[in-house]
Amino acid sequence: MKKVIHPVAGAFAILCIATFWLSTALSEAFCSQATVTLVKTLIPWGFLLLVPALMATGVSGFALACKRRGGRVDAKIKRMPWIVANGVLILIPSALFLAHKAKTGEFDSGFYAVQALELLAGAANLTLLGLSMCDGLKLNGQH
């Protein structure tokens, strides 16, 4: 079961983060403030899907790693604290802040500074998760 849960939950988590990131970037670049507000207020609700997917990915990944160490397994394990810290310390607070600011119509320099930080942190997490996915595929001989 772990062999199914880990890749499915991981892919779903990457899809969620990519959706948040692309929705933000595209709405900021091409849409009205009303659309930006909608996107920014919906993203925190997406955490109800993303957080369990990330937890399932982490728990199943550690279970799969079991006593295996070295190489790609160690690389995946070393990335996880960065992914978690980035999410908990930057991405979640930023999303909540931005949702509040958007809801109150405060599209000021603080909003855009945090928006830039969120986009950078989101891109970093997508990169780290993507590297872990590639390592996982290589561990299974699928890449």
The CATH number of the domain where 111 resides is what? 1.20.120
6-35 tens-digit pLDDT: 999 999 999 999 999 999 999 999 999 999
**What number is the average pLDDT over the span 49-71?**
86
Confidence of residue 127 (pLDDT cuts 50, 70, 90): very high
Domain membership of residue 143 (yes or no) is no
pLDDT surpassing 90 at residue 136: no
Number of folded domains in the chain? 1
Domain interval for residue 11: 2-138
Q: What is the 3-state secondary structure (H, E, C) of the chain?
A: CHHHHHHHHHHHHHHHHHHHHHHHHHHHHHCCHHHHHHHHHHHHHHHHHHHHHHHHHHHHHHHHHCCCCCHHHHHHHHHHHHHHHHHHHHHHHHHHHHHHHHHCCCCCHHHHHHHHHHHHHHHHHHHHHHHHHHHHHHHCCCC
